[in-house]
């Protein structure tokens, strides 16, 4: 049905793309019509179909104007024929086949272009092609920065979208150009505004953690460093010479100290960020059922199905999928495809609970004494961890704390958000609880040692007696028997 065509007419030197497809759905339908008309004709039919209309046949010695009219007539006929609605099943099947061919050849054309560096447009295609040369480019990334625009005295106005500023980098680094994304109204009266949290310290509550810790790392973090995406054999050799053998080795390394590696500082910081993303990823216990799943399977699974399986919300499942997809940009493709969620689980961290000097000082009230149990409260996240008061310095009133072996992350909380709560503001006695506790709708007024009596629900003539062991306002714990 198809003859050879000179595709070089569409692919002259200097073009940005190859064009392998010579036709579209309407052209394919016309080709099908002509072939069907040529093969399925019958002289006895009342109106045999034309293979090719007479006014569209090429004629010898025609002028340019006549040739243009012929082509215009053919184009109009094909367009009308393609859009025409018919009830003939054979025709509709042919048109559907032509449309499907149009879509498939479009994909084939696109994939053919992805096979050459000069015409590839997709990041993954470029990465795979240059990977054959042992070159691993960094993925495209955008940067944002907070920008403060101060209005002069008595001035106000509109700063149009696209206002540009440059940073002042260190010597030798390229300048980065930033521009505003929206129109901004500025006024002198707004100069006194401050960003949220400007008066809160971002320093950790305890710098240096005040004691020795043993950081737990997941099995993925122990993989060779080449499993970080964009680290090839050349970079691997350079890093191994400096003692960075596995992904976890990047965790405590300052990239500024690796200037002898022969790797650019920007690339080193990129590797560091990817390594920390891998090392810090900790799936919670709520995802235990997904532990044997491969990461790629979790990402491509429907969030609603994951929510049903794990009894988590759809939003939580979608957030997990986004986090795992981010790991896909940090791990090399083979390692990512083979990794399971269980391999991201780090062993429990052990900590040596030394006394730590806290940033807080004891006042006159409330009285703070060694041995008290206190809470370090994170105001922004509304969570707290328990500590013990180790000692209070007599002169400076500085408080030393003894962290709990199980709750120690408060040391890294921002100092501006961490508050030490020594004495509770409200005290409440806990209600009785347990399987052997009876609740009453109203306050019962009973105390421990009292006896109660009730009818058997199945036999109203039978009565039961029991002694009250414990009681609160609306609850009773009874003696067994």
Task: Assess whether pLDDT exceeds 50 at residue 411.
Answer: yes
pLDDT (tens digit per residue) in 372-391 = 888 888 888 888 888 888 88
Mean pLDDT of the chain: 80
Q: Directed axis angle between helix 303-310 and helix 314-328, to 10°?
A: 110
**3-class DSSP string for the chain:** CCCCCCHHHHCCCCCCCCCCCCCCHHHHHHHHHHHHHHHCCCCCCCCCCCCCCHHHCCCCCCCHHHHHHHHHHHHHHHHHHHHCCCCCHHHHHHHHHHHHHHHHHHHHHHHHHCCCCCCCCCHHHHHHHHHCCCCCCCCCCCCCCCCCCCCCCCCEEEECCCCEEECCCCCCCCCCEEECCCCEEEEHHHHHCCCCCCCCCCCECCHHHHCCEECCCCHHHHCEHHHECCCCHHHHHHHHHCCCCEHHHHCCCCHHHHHHHCCCHHHHHHHHHHHHHHHHCCCCHHHHHHCCCEHHHHHHCCHHHHHHHHCCCHHHHHHHHHHHHHHHCCECHHHHHHCEHHHHCCCCCEECCCCEEEEEECCCCCCCCCCCEEEEEECCCCEEEEEEEEEECCCCCEEEEEECCCCCHHHHCECCCEEEECCCCCCCCCCCCCCCEEECCCCCCCCCCCEEEEECCCCCCCEEEEEEEEECCCEEEECCC
What integer pLDDT is reported at residue 46 of this predicted model?
A: 46
The mean per-residue pLDDT over the stretch 10-26 comes to: 77
Q: 331 - beta bridge partners?
A: 228
Q: What angle do CA 29, 32, 37 make, to 5 degrees?
A: 125
Phi, psi values for residue 224, rounded to 5°: -55, 150
Whole-prediction pTM: 0.40
Q: What percent of the chain has pLDDT over 90?
A: 3
Listed range (272-286, 427-441, 443-457) with the worst mean pLDDT? 427-441
How many residues does this entry show for the chain?
A: 481
What integer pLDDT is reported at residue 368 of this predicted model?
A: 83
Nearest alpha-carbon partner for 349 in 218, 233, 216: 216
The mean per-residue pLDDT over the stretch 228-238 comes to: 85
Q: 302 - beta bridge partners?
A: none
The tokens describing 439, both together, are 């609740």
Nearest alpha-carbon partner for 235 in 203, 263, 193: 263
Please state whether 397 falls in left (phi above 0), alpha (psi between -120 and 50) or beta.
Answer: left
pLDDT (tens digit per residue) in 63-114 = 777 778 877 887 888 888 888 777 788 888 888 999 999 999 989 888 988 9
Task: Assess whether pLDDT exceeds 70 at residue 8.
Answer: no
Confidence class for position 430, pLDDT limits 50, 70, 90: low
Nearest alpha-carbon partner for 375 in 346, 348, 410: 410
The mean per-residue pLDDT over the stretch 306-312 comes to: 87
Task: Assess whether pLDDT exceeds 80 at residue 115.
Answer: yes
């Amino acid at each position: 049905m198809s003859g050879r065509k000179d595709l070089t007419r569409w692919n002259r030197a200097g073009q940005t793309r190859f064009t392998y497809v010579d036709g579209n759905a309407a052209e394919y339908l016309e080709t099908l019509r002509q072939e069907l008309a040529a093969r399925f004709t019958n002289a006895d039919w009342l109106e045999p179909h034309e293979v090719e209309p007479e006014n569209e046949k090429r004629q010898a010695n025609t002028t340019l104007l006549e040739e243009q009219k012929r082509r215009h007539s053919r184009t109009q006929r094909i367009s009308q024929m393609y859009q025409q609605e018919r009830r003939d099943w054979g025709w509709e099947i042919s048109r559907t086949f032509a449309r499907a061919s149009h879509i498939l050849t479009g994909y084939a054309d696109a994939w053919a272009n992805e096979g050459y560096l000069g015409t590839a447009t997709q990041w993954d295609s470029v990465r795979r092609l240059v990977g054959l040369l042992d070159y691993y480019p960094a993925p495209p990334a955008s940067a944002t920065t907070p920008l403060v625009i101060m209005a002069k005295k008595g001035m106000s106005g509109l700063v149009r979208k696209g206002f540009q500023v440059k940073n002042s980098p260190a010597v030798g680094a390229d300048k980065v150009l930033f521009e505003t994304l929206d129109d901004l109204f500025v006024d002198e009266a707004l100069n006194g505004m401050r960003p949220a949290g400007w008066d809160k310290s971002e320093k950790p509550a305890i710098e240096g953690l005040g004691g020795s810790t043993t950081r737990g790392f997941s099995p993925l973090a122990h993989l060779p460093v080449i499993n970080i995406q964009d680290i090839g054999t050349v970079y691997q050799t350079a890093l191994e010479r400096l003692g960075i053998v596995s992904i976890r080795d990047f965790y405590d390394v300052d990239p500024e100290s690796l200037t002898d590696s022969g790797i650019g500082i920007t690339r080193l910081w990129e590797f560091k960020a990817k390594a920390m993303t891998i090392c810090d990823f900790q799936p919670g216990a709520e995802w235990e059922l997904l532990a044997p799943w491969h990461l790629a399977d979790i990402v491509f699974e429907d969030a609603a199905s994951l929510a049903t399986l794990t009894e988590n919300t759809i939003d939580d499942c979608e957030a997990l999928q986004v986090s795992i997809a981010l790991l896909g940009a940090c791990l090399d493709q083979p390692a990512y495809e083979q990794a399971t969620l269980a391999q991201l689980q780090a062993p429990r961290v052990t900590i040596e609970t030394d006394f730590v000097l806290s940033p807080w000082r004891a006042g006159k009230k409330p009285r703070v004494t060694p041995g008290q149990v206190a809470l370090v409260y994170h105001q922004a996240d509304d969570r707290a961890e328990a500590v013990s008061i180790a000692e209070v310095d007599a002169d400076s009133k500085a408080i030393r704390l003894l962290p709990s072996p199980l709750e120690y992350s408060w040391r890294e909380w921002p100092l501006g958000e961490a508050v030490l709560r020594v004495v509770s503001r409200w005290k409440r006695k806990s209600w009785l609880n347990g399987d052997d506790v009876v609740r009453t709708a109203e306050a019962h007024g009973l105390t421990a040692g009292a006896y109660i009596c009730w009818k058997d629900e199945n036999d109203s003539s039978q009565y039961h007696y029991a002694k009250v062991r414990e009681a609160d306002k609306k609850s009773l714990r009874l003696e067994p028997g």
